[in-house]
Structure 1
Amino acid sequence: MRLLFRHRSIQTRFTAAAAALSLIFFTLIAIGLDLMIRNRVRDQLFGDTQRVATGWIGSMKPGRIPSLIPNTAVNLLQLVDSHGRVVAASPAAAGRPPLSAVRPPNDDRIIHLTECSHSGCFVLTSVRVSPQEASLVWGGEPHVVYAGTAEPPVLSTHILEFSTLAAALLATGFATWIAWAAVGRALRPVAAIRARMSEISVTDLSLRVPEPPGSDEIGQLARTANQTLSRLETAVQQQRHFASIVSHELKTPVAGLQTQLEEAVLYPDDVDLRETIKAGLATTERLRALIDDIMVFARIRTAAPEPPEPVDLGALVHDELVTTTRDVPVRTRVKGEVTVLGNHMQLIGVLNNLVVNAQRHAVTSVEVSAGREDGQAVVTVSDDGDGIALEDRDRVFQPFVRLAEGHRKDPAGTGLGLAISRAIATAHHGTLEIDDSTRGARFVLRLPLLKRHPA
């Protein structure tokens, strides 16, 4: 049964559950209602029979039994003596044996009971005449009065059970229909979302799923799906743009290498093979460096991050910075403890990349500082070179973008160093920007500080 429902729709499963619960609930209500009605009718009948019986006894006088029987629905009346003889009876009970053989005990003069015979069942009340009344009327001989009436159809037949059961089934059916309609209405946006999602493909990520009004779970799901699609569209566009740029960057050195080799093959007497091989090796080395940087950049952007660890940026600045052979000194300054949570090798790679880049463009010196500011770790790398124009401060972080000055000072560069550095900063939930400076370029790396929990 569980496996059967697993393959059904949510609407079917919820409706079936609602139907089962409704059937149980309304069946219990029907049973309770049936018992309540039965008890209510029976109590009313017993009240009527008791009232008639006690009223008849109260009208009896010494030596005379009232012949006038009250005009009531309680039409079965009998006065029975201590020997079981019917002394007086109403027309409907005349000629019958005593309505019941049950006689109330002395300590409980009134009892209610139901008797059945071949002619049907009736409810009656048996009242023992009090000793005072018996002594006054019959010289102390005990007598019993029976007052009864035929059971009404609500008690003698199953019409009440059938009626309450039918009402329970109708209520269950109505509740099931309500549940089916309500769940269907609630899931209607899900069907629209599913239909739209089936139309979305990798070639066209511009479509968005419809967002229902309100802030319920389905609305939140739709908005989250649209946000995910937006991020996916941006990522795919960036990936396509990156692939286009990579193919262009790789095509140029490969085409040059192919030209050199073809010249060596076609004109062996006119080409210096040694120089061709040296040039080919240089081109191959540039290709290797380019491919390595591309793989690092792609891995940072797409691969799952490694488990982070506490990293002391002050120690990195003091002890692990790698500088070039250029005669440009690097001055460092660390203020206080600057510990973040991240990847040690990636962060030292960012700092080294920034320092090497600063040395390349500096005139006399490079300054590196690390400290805390507004709950963040801040590392600043400044040089005293020509600086970077305001309109180029975002471009230099794009893959393969190289300004004229950078290309002149480092012709063999790949143009991926700053792009990789910013990608690492972003992966560490931080930023890498270029701030204003009175002279030269000022790169600022901001990362969240490691939160210390009290012991």
Structure 2
Amino acid sequence: MRLWRDWSVRTRLTWVASVVMALACAGVSVLVFLGVRDLAMSERRQQIVLADLHVGRLIRLGRLPPVLPPQKVAAVQVVDDTGRIVSSTRQLVGKPLMADIAPPDEHGESHGVKCSLPGHKGTCMNVVVTRYYRKEGDWLIYGADPVVPWYVNSALVAILGIGSLFVVTATALGMYRIVGRALAPVDSVRRELTEITASDLSRRVPLSLHRDEIRNLAETVNETLDRLQQAVERQRRFASDAGHDLRSPITAMRAQVEDALMHPEDTDWVKTSESLVVSLDRLQAIVTDLLVIARLDSGEKVTRDYVNVAELVRTEVGRRFRGKRIALDLQHGVVVSGDRLQLVRLLTNLLDNAERHAMSTVTISVRRDVHHAVLEVIDDGEGIAPEQREIVFQRFTRLAAGREKDKQGTGLGLAIARDIAEQHGGSLTIEDSPKGARFVLRAPLLTVRSPG
């Protein structure tokens, strides 16, 4: 079994085809042997009957000698109506009756197979008994010839053996060649994949000219490479942006500390410490968001709980410092399945963004449509231009208005919110609003049936 597993697909298929063809040839050969043997036995029996008829003609002409000349069969005996042997071929002279076969009175012929006849020890003979009708009494003419062997003759064995060997060999070579051609595109895909490295993900595997399974495989591989290239490029941009955003507060802190150390007597250490704390807060916020992004990108399994969206909103709003007025429009009984902590983070990020841009009021509504729970967070600020509604969800993206209103922002809040929405099978978009920005979360609605 281990040797079989170590063989290539090409070799295994060739062996399977060869074995199947060998079995088929063996079956055909058996059928040929059986058919030819039946024909040969019928012909042999007919030959014996002709020999018996020839002897019957000698009886009719009255020229039957005691010792018959050589016939076209191995042995012939003639028995009169009293059971006496009156004539036979030379090897049966003085020998008893060759067989106890006799045709019924109403039949003129009978036949059978007898082994070790007199004068033919160790040989099985095909015996045909013919009744010769005479007025004085019927005589019996016995004719015998060796039975046809199962293989008929060695020439037929040689022909079938050589023919079967040729067919099996041709099948093996043909299958090996056909499978090789069929798997050639797969080998091309394999070679191309071995040459693709992380430094050059733009290469793609070749597509087969035929619209078949191999082409489907190559297209799937190319689609996977497309996604891999996009993921790697996104990771590179992420690393670059993260490095830049981490470098800014670190550089600022270093500059402040070096300046203070150069002129310690002129430094207001309390003010310097306060500036350092602000930079450290920004650094901590960036690191925290980066850890959240890393967990989301790792495909961490979402813990599924029953979450009542209206109760979640009411609880989180009650915990917040009311910098802006928050208006609630909550429809009860809107339940989703998801990770409560992640959904809280999503809501918090949307509220932080809304309060940052709102003039006076943030409106939160919860409702259901046919298949989704819908959460809307609307501010009464300046809004977001349609061409920028997707840009704000990109990581480390901060529009000019956002940088002016919050210099400590990380540019990751909305990106994290959308990632959480997508992990829950939903979507987060910005839709039209009469005033301000309108963020709309849609998540699959969970139908809760009451007991009974």
User: Same fold by TM-score, threshold 0.5 exceeded?
Assistant: yes
Asked if 1:390 is matched to 2:390, the reply is no
Does 2:272 match 1:271? no
Q: 2:257 aligns with which of 253, 256, 261?
A: 261
Structure 1 match to 2:113: 113
Which residue in the other structure is 2:11 paired with? 12
CA drift of 1:87 comes to 3.1
Per-residue deviation, 1:160? 2.5
Q: Which runs of 5+ in 1 are unaligned?
A: none
Return the alpha-carbon distance in structure 2 between the equivalents of residues 435 and 300 of structure 1: 25
Answer yes or no: is the 8 Å Cα contact 1:371–1:378 preserved in 2. yes
- C-alpha RMSD of matched pairs (Å): 3.4
CA–CA separation in structure 2 for the residues paired with 1:195 and 1:102: 78
Question: Can you list the C-alpha shifts for 1:179-216, whole angstroms capped at 9, x where unaligned?
Answer: 21222122111101001101100001011112224554
Query: 1:280-327: CA deviations, max 9, x gaps?
Result: 122112101111111111221223323433333233223334664344
Asked if 1:432 is matched to 2:431, the reply is no
Work out whether residues 114 and 122 of structure 1, in 8 Å CA contact, stay in contact via their aligned partners in 2. Answer: yes
Q: Which residue of the partner structure matches residue 231 of structure 1?
A: 227
Counting matched residue pairs gives: 441
Unaligned runs of 5+ in 2: none
Cα separation, partners in 2 of 1:363 and 1:278, compared to 1, 3 Å:
closer
Distance 1:291 1:114, change over 3 A: same
How far did residue 21 of structure 1 move? 3.0
Q: For residue 355 of structure 1, what is the aligned residue in structure 2? A: 351
Cα distance in structure 2, aligned partners of 1:8 and 1:210: 26
Do the aligned residues in 2 keep the contact of 1:124 with 1:146 (CA within 8 Å)?
Answer: no
1:328-348 deviation line (CA, Å, top 9, x unaligned): 222222335322232221112
* Contact preservation (8 Å) 2:37, 2:148: no
C-alpha separation in 2, matches of 1:307 and 1:66: 110
The 1:85/1:115 distance shift into structure 2, 3 A limit, reads farther
Aligned to 2:247, the other structure's residue is in SS state helix
Distance in 2, matches of 1:319 and 1:274, equals 38
Matches within 5 A, 1:317-328: 317-321=313-317, 324-328=320-324
Alignment equivalent of 2:162, drawn from 161, 166, 182: 166
Aligned to 2:337: 341
Over 3 Å counting, the alpha-carbon distance change for 1:105 and 1:77 in structure 2 is closer
Partner of 1:204: 200
> Following TM superposition, by how much is the alpha carbon of 1:100 offset from its aligned partner in structure 2, in angstroms?
6.5
For 2:37, the equivalent position in structure 1 comes to 38
> Hey, what does 2:376 align to over in structure 1?
380
Per-residue CA shift, 1:240-283, capped at 9, x if unaligned?
Answer: 11111111111111111111111122221121223222221221
Q: For residue 78 of structure 2, what is the aligned residue in structure 1?
A: 79
User: Structure 2 counterpart of 1:447, which letter?
Assistant: A
Partner of 1:28: 27
Match of 1:320, SS state, is helix
User: 1:127 corresponds to which residue?
Assistant: 129
1:252 is matched by which residue type in structure 2?
A: S
1:326–1:359 CA contact under 8 A, matched in 2: no
CA distance in 1, matches of 2:2, 2:177: 25
1:372 CA drift (Å): 2.4
Aligned match of 2:100: 103
Cα deviation, residue 174, structure 1: 1.8
Q: Would the aligned equivalents of 1:46 and 1:123 in 2 still touch at CA under 8 Å?
A: no
| TM-score, with length taken from structure 2 | 0.85
* CA pair 327-4 structure 1, distance change in 2 beyond 3 A: closer
CA positional deviation for 1:16: 2.0
Distance 1:54 1:332, change over 3 A: farther
Q: Is the 8 A contact 2:75 2:91 kept in 1?
A: no
Structure 2 match to 1:292? 288
Q: Matched residues in 2 for 1:105 and 1:262: separation?
A: 132
Aligned-partner SS, 2:265: coil
Q: Distance in 1 between matches of 2:392 and 2:382?
A: 15
Matched, 1:316 2:318: no
Task: Write the distance in 2 (CA, Å) between the matches of 1:183 and 1:235.
Answer: 36
Q: In structure 2, how many angstroms separate the alpha carbons of the residues matched to 1:190 and 1:99?
A: 78
Per the alignment, do residues 336 and 177 of structure 1 end up closer, same or farther by CA in structure 2, a change over 3 Å counting?
A: farther
Kept after mapping to 2: 8 A contact 1:192/1:210 = yes
Cα shift at 1:401: 1.5
- Contact 1:335 1:371 survives alignment (8 Å): yes
CA distance in 2, matches of 1:373, 1:99: 109
Tell me, what secondary structure is at the counterpart of 2:264?
coil
The match for 1:222 is 218
Is 1:414 the counterpart of 2:410? The answer is yes
Contact 1:323–1:355 under 8 Å retained in 2: no
How many Å separate the matches in 1 of 2:421 and 2:17?
Answer: 53
User: Displacement, 1:175?
Assistant: 1.8
The amino acid across from 1:103 in the alignment is D
CA distance in structure 1 between the partners assigned to 2:187 and 2:83 by the alignment:
81
Given residue 128 of structure 2, which amino acid in structure 1 is its aligned partner? S
- Structure 1 contact 377–446 (Cα < 8 Å) conserved: yes
1:121 offset after TM fit, Å?
6.9
Over the matched positions of the two proteins, sequence identity in percent amounts to 32
The answer on whether the counterparts of 2:375 and 2:442 sit within 8 Å (CA) in structure 1 is yes
Secondary structure (helix, strand or coil) at the match of 1:279 reads helix
Partner amino acid, structure 2, of 1:39: D
Q: Secondary structure at the match of 2:78?
A: strand
- How big is each residue's C-alpha offset from its partner over 1:56-78, in whole Å with a ceiling of 9 and x where there is no partner? 659965x94789x9xx9669654
Corresponding residue for residue 190 of structure 1: 186
Letter in 1 for 2:365: S
- CA separation in 2, counterparts of 1:325 and 1:227? 48
